[in-house]
């Protein structure tokens, strides 16, 4: 919602830049998509490594109950 309000303010102040931003937004989103996918993959890898490293401690903690 905040982005829409900012766009309307930009449209009032300088409508050619607002229209250009509206047209370029999908292309910028497509360019950023591979970086988001890489970020999701790296985050998943780090979560997996954390679980793998902490697994022995969780197994030992389970025997103590």
DSSP notation for 25-61? HHHHHHHHHHHHHHHHHHHHHHHHHHHHHHHHHHHHH
pLDDT at 47: 97
pLDDT at 65: 66
Quick: pLDDT tens for 4-26: 999 999 999 999 999 999 999 99
pLDDT at 60: 87
**Domain ranges, ordered by start, for the chain:** 2-63
pTM of the entire structure? 0.59
């Amino acid at each position: 919602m905040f982005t829409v309000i900012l766009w309307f303010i930009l449209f009032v102040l300088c409508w050619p830049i607002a229209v250009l931003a509206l047209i370029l937004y999908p292309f910028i989103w497509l360019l950023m998509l591979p970086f988001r996918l890489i970020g999701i993959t790296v985050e998943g890898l780090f979560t997996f490594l954390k679980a793998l490293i902490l697994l022995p401690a969780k197994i030992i903690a389970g025997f103590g109950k």
